[in-house]
Amino acid sequence: MNRAKHLFSYRRFWAHKFTPAPFLPMSREEMYELGWDSCDVILVTGDAYVDHPSFGMAVIGRTLETQGFRVGIIAQPDWNLPDDFRRLGRPNLYFGVTGGNMDSMVNRYTSERRIRSDDAYTPGGKGGQRPDRAVIVYSQRCREAFKEVPVVIGGIEASLRRIAHFDYWQEKVRRSVLTDSKADMLLFGNGERAIVDLTHRLASGETIRSITDLRGTALMLSGVPADYTVIDSSEIDEPGSVQPEPSPYLDTTRTSACSIEPSDTTEQAPRVIQFERRPRGLDRMHTAVRLPGFEQVKSDPVLYAHASRILHLESNPGNARALIQAHGNRELWINPPPVPLQTDELDGVFELPYQRVPHPVYGGARIPAYEMIRFSVNIMRGCFGGCTFCSITEHEGRIIQNRSEKSILKEIETLRDTVPGFTGNISDLGGPTANMWRLACRDEKIEASCRRLSCVYPGICKNLDTNQMPLVRLYRKARGLPGIKRVFIASGLRYDIAVETPEYVKELVTHHVGGYLKIAPEHTEDGPLSKMMKPGTGTYDHFKTMFDKYSREAGKEQYLIPYFIAAHPGTTDRDMMNLAIWLKRNGFRADQVQAFLPSPMALASTMWHTGRNPLKKITRLSETLYSPKGARQRRLHKAFLRYHDAENWPLLREALKNMGRSDLIGNGKRHLIPRWQPAGTGNKPKGSRHSDRKQQTFHTKHTGIELKKGRQVGKKKPFRKK
């Protein structure tokens, strides 16, 4: 793994003489009370400002504050005019822009593209307080407010749109958000390391146009750095005949030095060049991989799938190379991913002086996302599961970043002693997943050279240490602290890893489950599971056996709550029928269901858009797959998950007859749905716009905890046992 400068080893900026702000200021009055005449950095965010380590603007703001910089926050500004972006004056160094903890489009629209009426990250849960594509809009308003001030974009929305990407809401491939926002730089992944280095370099007099070598950043160049060797992406994974001549690739030899000065905006036809076979033994630190350009991936699904596969193969910080993608006559340059934080660095980030409550400007207004996490503690970052429909891995990476046991227990005590309303229960002790804390490759050299997309699919890698006894000891110490009644585990559990340590399952089931435990098999059929990179039902059955055994031994009546996805790429009507049969056989009735939503940059979104499987080598003749896209078919797939709802029976009867499975229609126990129809049901018109606002599950990118309309999953039982 490449080493990086310690996050807290920089010489602090002169403004460190000011005492830490109780809250990062949101108004001129607050600035004057702190003795500030200006801000060095102003963060613009689509979320309400909650000074808590689960909220991105607070983490970045407090991290920069401890480096000695004065940081102000403009939260949920009026984006119609630039006036609100001037409220704190001109920043001395730059504007930092983020859409918030969630992608603004996912936040505002359901999986059926219907507008939501609520927003969990807004006071009162009120919807409509941020624009569509917030990063683009905010960046443009910052530029209008102070034209000469650099704009740096980051967060989940920018991170997942750092490259040409399929946009589900417009059903087309869009350019990198860096080009559309006209920002100067994009930070992707967990941004502490990059933002600290960038800010110190700008404060020392460097210009943002000269900073081209920072890991975890993307920027637009007019040429390729002279000290880099460029190889063609087809040498890594041959896509077949890329495109009829002339070659779509730009001439990377047209400049001998790195420059990011804007070139002539007039579109010019790229000059045809021939790539030579690369010499062996190239230095990865000075090698860049050229991807097919925006114009090519926009018009060619095979090239899009090829570029997506290469992007994910080049995601390990230990061996990733820089990526180049032409956008018109300019180059999108993506540096390798950031080096993960070490344990003491992550501890330092979580131990900054957060108030752990919303800014006082909101009064007593309820912010649903904060209410969900205020009694939870984050113990790690990252996920090596690689689920193709999930964005956590794309944003936080596959290498787990761990907090120390001491730091975690200290935060529990701080929460117990300072957070208003604490009653003794920790709502969650987890992260993006519940049980990956301290799990890693057994050999650092193997980890640094690995290019697998998942450490646990199709099976658990033999080099992965799955010993969860350190986590068992943490749970025991946490529940043993004075004043702590219960410690619940609400983060998503990787049950395929859990079964590797039976003592962990016993500890979890005996002490940390509040009657129901949510897990996510996502499906029962091999076809969709292979496209999700999820384990089969045999693993689920193994875990359920252990769960039931330890529940009985503890004298508790407890239930597993499995979650499933409808309309995922590679899923057929028959797959959903078999899943519905499994649900009925096991006595499950889903109250809430989720339909697949193609988020930017996810591998499953590539499958959805291109009809190709990027989990395998992409060629013109490679595997094709089907995605259920039509409104009627997506409605049918959700109807199978809710086979017990009489409103769905007419649609299911028709589908079962067409599938030749009329034997599943009847009034016996072996039948899926009855022949009779209750009066007043099943009469919704085709295309009915009945609400599915509660149907989509989201992940907050700093906690990994799931939200459903601002409530923690499990509070309202999503399944009920017959």
Question: If you average pLDDT over residues 145-173, what whole number do you get?
Answer: 97
Cβ proximity of 22 and 62 under 8 Å: no
pLDDT at residue 532, as a whole number:
97
Cross-strand partners of 114 = none
Tokens standing for residue 43: 């963060």
Cβ proximity of 492 and 704 under 8 Å: yes
pLDDT tens digits along 320-376: 999 999 999 999 999 999 999 999 999 999 999 999 999 999 998 999 999 999 999
Say which CATH architecture domain 1-213 belongs to: 3-Layer(aba) Sandwich (3.40)
Closest-CA residue to 701 (of 200, 46, 198, 114): 46
Closest-CA residue to 713 (of 430, 511, 475, 501): 430
Tokens standing for residue 260: 């990011």
pLDDT at residue 593, as a whole number:
86
Band of pLDDT at residue 2, cut at 50, 70 and 90: low
d(CA 517, CA 515): 7
592 Cα distance to chain centroid: 22
pLDDT tens digits along 211-230: 999 999 999 999 888 889 99
pLDDT at residue 37, as a whole number:
97
Lowest-pLDDT range of 103-112, 440-449, 602-611, 689-698:
689-698
Tokens standing for residue 674: 């009855």
pLDDT at residue 590, as a whole number:
85
For 249-294, strand residue ranges (E) read 287-291
Closest-CA residue to 283 (of 231, 221, 345): 231
Question: If you average pLDDT over residues 163-184, what whole number do you get?
Answer: 97
8-state DSSP, 277: P
8-state DSSP, 18: S
Hey, how many other C-beta atoms are within 10 angstroms of the C-beta on 92? Answer: 17
Which segments of the chain belong to CATH 3.80.30.20?
A: 375-644+691-721
Choice between 536 and 237, residue whose per-residue pLDDT is larger: 536
pLDDT tens digits along 231-283: 999 988 877 544 333 333 333 333 333 333 333 333 333 333 233 334 456 78
Closest-CA residue to 563 (of 585, 530, 534): 534
d(CA 576, CA 566): 8
d(CA 477, CA 473): 6
pLDDT at residue 257, as a whole number:
31
Band of pLDDT at residue 720, cut at 50, 70 and 90: very low
pLDDT at residue 622, as a whole number:
85
Q: With b meaning 16 or more CB within 10 Å and e meaning fewer, what string describes 495-505?
A: bbbbbbbeebb
pLDDT tens digits along 576-589: 999 999 999 999 99
Question: If you average pLDDT over residues 112-124, what whole number do you get?
Answer: 96
Cross-strand partners of 94 = 41
| Lookup result for tokens 């060797």 | 229
Tokens standing for residue 579: 């899943």
pLDDT tens digits along 135-149: 999 999 999 999 999
Torsion of CA 409, 410, 412, 416, to 10 degrees: 140
Peptide bond into 20 cis (omega under 30): no
677 has a pLDDT exceeding 50 = yes
Fold of 375-644+691-721: pyruvate-formate lyase- activating enzyme (3.80.30)
pLDDT tens digits along 39-82: 999 999 999 999 999 999 999 999 999 999 999 999 999 999 99
d(CA 216, CA 7): 14
Cβ proximity of 46 and 108 under 8 Å: no
The three-point CA angle 623-624-630 to 5° equals: 160
pLDDT at residue 359, as a whole number:
98
pLDDT at residue 237, as a whole number:
81
* Average predicted confidence (pLDDT) for the chain: 89
pLDDT tens digits along 596-647: 999 999 999 999 999 999 999 998 888 899 999 999 999 999 999 999 999 9
Cβ proximity of 243 and 296 under 8 Å: yes
Cβ proximity of 664 and 581 under 8 Å: yes
Cβ proximity of 447 and 306 under 8 Å: no
Q: With b meaning 16 or more CB within 10 Å and e meaning fewer, what string describes 392-417?
A: bbbbbbbbbbbbbbebbbbbbeebbe
8-state DSSP, 185: E
